Amino acid sequence: MKFVKDRFNYLFNSTKGLILVAIAMVAIVTAIWGMLSGPMAEMGVREIVIKMLGMKIIQSEREGRIIILYHSIAMAIIAIETYMITGLLKMKEFLRMAVRVLITVGYIMTMLFGMGFAYFGHNWAFHGLYITGLSLIFFAGVLLCIALYPWQSEYYVSDKDYAHTKKGVDLERMAFFATAVTTVLSSLFGAVPGSFYGNGFETFLAENIIRYPEKTTMEYSVIGHLHIMLALIAVMLTLIIGRWLNFKGVWHKVAMPLMILGTIVLNLGVWGVVTPLEPVAHMIIYVGATPSMLAALFLLIWSWSKFAKEGTAHIAKPTFLQKLGAIVSDPLKFGPTWQMLFMNFTTSGIGIFMAIKLDEIFRVWPAREERIELTGHWHALSAIIATIILMYYGDMLGLKGKVRQLYGWGIIFLSDIALGAVTVFEMKRLFISEAEQQPLVNGLMYAIDFGLGMLLVLLAIVMIWRLTDLFKPKGRWTEEATHELAEEVMK
Amino acid sequence: MKRIILTLSLLTALLASCAPVDLNAPMPTYDTGIDPNAWAQIPAGEFYFGQHNDIASTDAYEIMITDITTQQYADFLNAALADGYVKMDGEQIIGFYPGDEFRGVKHEEKIEAGDWIFIPLNDPSQRIKFDGTTFTVQNGYENHPMTMVSWFGAWGYCGYYDWRLPTEMEWEKAGRGTDTRPFPWGEEIQRTNANFYSSRDPFEDMSSFGSRTSPVGFYNGKQYDDYQTLNSASPYGLYDMAGNVWQWTGNVYEGMHYRFLRGGSKDTYDMDLRLWVRNNATPTYYSPGVGFRCVR
């Protein structure tokens, strides 16, 4: 009994244990459901998986299934970020505990009952429990906002290295708070249309209605919701990485106000799509995205300068190559910001290019080709977020030496190969015709499958290692059970 | 040594990706036994429309049981060129379209009255050839669906014979009948039901040229050499309403210049073959995966 109790306590009562469970859940869902589409479907693996697991797939419900699948994975990612925030930032113990309990029960219910409802027959009790899970996550979000409330003297800072107001209000905490509050509010933009299902609102995927000149308010609401939620997950992760790396100094002082401003304006723009502001909403979104992206850039500049300085401290006059060597010496600390930079080539850059050349190039192509760009764009951003989380998790595990190098560079190279290939795939019509594309498509598919497949293998190895570790009486888990993330922030 | 092997392997893979595609690679020829000049009668009445099974209705009409073939289109061009309905303009065939009302909606583009492209002649994927006097079809493609044809070219073909393109509703009803099936033949899809991406039909080679069109009416339950097809006709007896080529439909919607396509194609996954799935493109768009059929 003690055996089970100790492990249960580690898995559900410690930050690292909770993160491990959520990563494992996402890994399982990704591995299984990844076999239902793309090359796996072409090879016939999909049919085997469907039969083996007894899934009930109805053709007309594909869009609904996908929406539940996205939500299931997204809720686990939001839970991981919440564990990180509650592990990194000071807050009242009761609130920390309440947030964690609610979000853990919430995302597990969302995932189990949501996927059960979507893929294994329509048990409507499961549907109700899925909604209950989402509601619990919402309440966890509300409590997190209360816990992060920055205008409390106990959280004021006086250290001049960190951004704060004259009164001492911690601007980094305010950025976390602003992101949490806007996330909670933005979730309503999905929840409200969701509550009208079957009563004036029906399932749709945003990428399927891109070119329709008339959209309903509910459709706009959902489109705004999905864009802002992914953006806010990325903003929150940037803040988390900054806290882990102990972002400070001048760059911090400039970045944090920008992050707060960017988050608020970005949200106002997205919320504006359901108001008469819709025609100018995109302009407001660009205005909001710019300071947020600048803040992320400042984190990158600060962290790379720091790595270069610290890594060459023993050299009197370090050369450029020596500095570069120092920057990349630890892939787990270099990786998150590198992935943020790489994101500009696979996601942000492509998005801006598409927006500028939309009518001239992309809308000359059929809608289904434009859809490939859009879905590729979101998948790439989601995958980049996942890799950043995995790199921080690698550091939490205390990976050292060659294993740390292999794990870190493995994630960077494998994901960048896959996402680079996805980007070329999305844009292939710019330089190759439909009739001549097949060899290129094959080459890109090999790169994508190799990169993502090997990344999943790497993750599987880590998960198996963690599972076997749990059976050891004095495994690594015993240390992790008592270590808090705040203690491991870089000096 | 290991590094050299790895580098060489990667280079080989890269070079293979750049290999040119033989667009005229040998292709099997089959007589499907389906008459592309045949029409199906669709009665007036209600049917389930769209993914969410909304109730809609149409008047009675007739629709072609197959897509227009390349041979049919070449015959049309020969007749239409002779009587001035179409003309040559450089390397393309053009014809008159009376234009659409422009409302200035965001992203809407003007479609003015004038000559618009029907088909390009200089594209290597074009299976219709012109020797200066006569249009002919590349050997083996006679009974394949006409592709590389713009919406104007499809509209012009139907109009020449006093027919028209089907509306989206007419198209869907002809493919679906009066129940809620997602595919013309029923609830589920198998590889031998239709020509779609990686469906392993005799016209496909995913390692080189990829997917190609199949003759119209190919999926009719017949066996072709060692390839057994399933009879995939719609309830009204239409073939190729899922896969092979996307089909232009006739609606011109307010505030948008895009024209809608239905049916999925040889280049799309099975999900796009569901009868309610919509695609759209500018009316000047043409592709090896887009064709049409007419109604009257």
pLDDT value for B16: 60
Name the residue facing B17 among A41, A435, A440 (closest C-beta).
A440
d(CA B144, CA B58): 29
User: Quick check: B170 pLDDT over 80?
Assistant: yes
Residues in chain A within 8 Å Cβ distance of B276: 60
pLDDT value for B14: 60
Nearest to B208 by CA among A226, A439, A356: A439
pLDDT value for A282: 84
Name the residue facing B107 among A60, A359, A440 (closest C-beta).
A359
Question: Looking at CA atoms only, how far is residue A134 from chain B in angstroms?
Answer: 25
Please name the residue of chain A whose CA is at the shortest distance from the CA of residue B254. A213
For the segment A196-213, the average pLDDT, to the nearest whole number, is: 89
Please name the residue of chain A whose CA is at the shortest distance from the CA of residue B24. A435
**CB contact (8 A) between residue B288 and residue A434:** yes
Burial (Cβ within 10 Å: 0-12, 13-18, ≥19) of residue A57: middle
Q: Which of A193-197, A223-227, A476-480, B233-237 tops mean pLDDT?
A: B233-237
d(CA A22, CA A50): 24
Confidence of residue A473 (pLDDT cuts 50, 70, 90): very high
**CB contact (8 A) between residue B279 and residue A442:** no
pLDDT value for A491: 74
Residues in chain A within 8 Å Cβ distance of B255: 213-214
pLDDT value for B12: 65
pLDDT value for A350: 83
For the segment A135-139, the average pLDDT, to the nearest whole number, is: 98
Confidence of residue B50 (pLDDT cuts 50, 70, 90): very high
Q: How far is CA A215 from CA A29, A211, A375, B263, in A?
A: 33, 10, 20, 24
Please name the residue of chain A whose CA is at the shortest distance from the CA of residue B268. A368
pLDDT value for B262: 98
Domain ranges in chain A are 356-472
User: Quick check: B260 pLDDT over 70?
Assistant: yes
CB contacts < 8 A (A, B): 105
Please name the residue of chain A whose CA is at the shortest distance from the CA of residue B50. A60
For the segment A140-149, the average pLDDT, to the nearest whole number, is: 98
**CB contact (8 A) between residue B207 and residue A365:** no
User: Would you state the structure tokens that stand for residue A44, as one six-digit string?
Assistant: 């016939």
Confidence of residue A41 (pLDDT cuts 50, 70, 90): confident
pLDDT value for A197: 85
For the segment B193-221, the average pLDDT, to the nearest whole number, is: 93
User: Quick check: A286 pLDDT over 80?
Assistant: yes
A147-166 tens-digit pLDDT: 999 999 999 999 999 999 99
pLDDT: which is higher, A355 or B125: B125
Confidence of residue A484 (pLDDT cuts 50, 70, 90): confident
Percent of chain B with pLDDT over 70: 94
A52-74 tens-digit pLDDT: 999 999 999 999 999 999 999 99
A377-414 tens-digit pLDDT: 888 999 999 999 999 999 999 999 999 999 999 999 99
Which residues of A sit within 8 Å Cβ distance of B? 37, 41-42, 59-60, 62-63, 202-203, 208, 211-214, 279, 358-359, 363-368, 433-444, 446
Residues in chain A within 8 Å Cβ distance of B210: 437-438, 441
**CB contact (8 A) between residue A213 and residue B271:** no
**CB contact (8 A) between residue A444 and residue B17:** yes
User: Quick check: B238 pLDDT over 90?
Assistant: yes
Site from A370, A434, A444, A449 to mutate, B interface, most B CB atoms within 10 angstroms: A434
Query: Could you tell me which residues come within 8 angstroms of residue A363 by beta carbon, excluding any fewer than 6 positions away?
Result: A211, A370, B107, B282
Nearest to B273 by CA among B235, B232, B218: B232
Question: Looking at CA atoms only, how far is residue A39 from chain B in angstroms?
Answer: 9
Q: Does B17 touch chain A (CB under 8 A)?
A: yes
d(CA B24, CA B140): 10
pLDDT value for B11: 63
A452-467 tens-digit pLDDT: 999 999 999 999 999 9
**CB contact (8 A) between residue B258 and residue A439:** no
Residue with tokens 């390839």: B227
pLDDT value for B17: 59
d(CA B261, CA B278): 6
B218-233 tens-digit pLDDT: 999 999 999 999 999 9
User: Quick check: A40 pLDDT over 90?
Assistant: no
Site from A36, A43, A60 to mutate, B interface, most B CB atoms within 10 angstroms: A60
pLDDT value for A199: 85
Q: What is the signed CA dihedral for A17, A21, A22, A25, rounded to 10 degrees?
A: 170
The most distant pair of C-alpha atoms in chain A lies apart, rounded to whole Å, by 71
Confidence of residue B18 (pLDDT cuts 50, 70, 90): low
User: Quick check: A373 pLDDT over 90?
Assistant: no
For the segment B37-57, the average pLDDT, to the nearest whole number, is: 96
SS3 B86: strand
Residue with tokens 């509601």: A135
User: Quick check: B10 pLDDT over 70?
Assistant: no
Confidence of residue A426 (pLDDT cuts 50, 70, 90): confident
pLDDT value for A44: 86
d(CA A189, CA A448): 33
Domain ranges in chain B are 51-291
**pTM: predicted TM-score of the whole model, two decimal places:** 0.92
d(CA B286, CA B146): 11
pLDDT value for B1: 64
CB B170 within 8 A of CB B295: yes
pLDDT value for A213: 87
For the segment A278-300, the average pLDDT, to the nearest whole number, is: 91
User: Quick check: A417 pLDDT over 90?
Assistant: yes
CB A397 within 8 A of CB A461: no
Confidence of residue A359 (pLDDT cuts 50, 70, 90): confident
pLDDT value for A275: 87
Give this complex's ipTM. Answer: 0.89
Percent of chain B with pLDDT over 90: 86
pLDDT value for A415: 95
User: Quick check: A302 pLDDT over 90?
Assistant: yes
Residue with tokens 């997190």: A144
CATH 3.40.47.10 fits B51-291, yes or no: no
Name the residue facing B21 among A62, A367, A438 (closest C-beta).
A438
pLDDT value for A435: 86
B74-106 tens-digit pLDDT: 999 999 999 999 999 999 999 999 999 999 998
DSSP string, B3-29: HHHHHHHHHHHHHHHTPPP-TT-----
**Mean pLDDT across chain A:** 93
Please name the residue of chain B whose CA is at the shortest distance from the CA of residue A445. B17
Question: Looking at CA atoms only, how far is residue B18 from chain A in angstroms?
Answer: 6
User: Would you state the structure tokens that stand for residue B75, as one six-digit string?
Assistant: 């015959």
Q: Is the dihedral of CA B111, B112, B118, B122 positive or negative?
A: negative
CB A234 within 8 A of CB A385: yes
Q: Does B206 touch chain A (CB under 8 A)?
A: yes
Nearest to A148 by CA among A108, A182, A106: A182
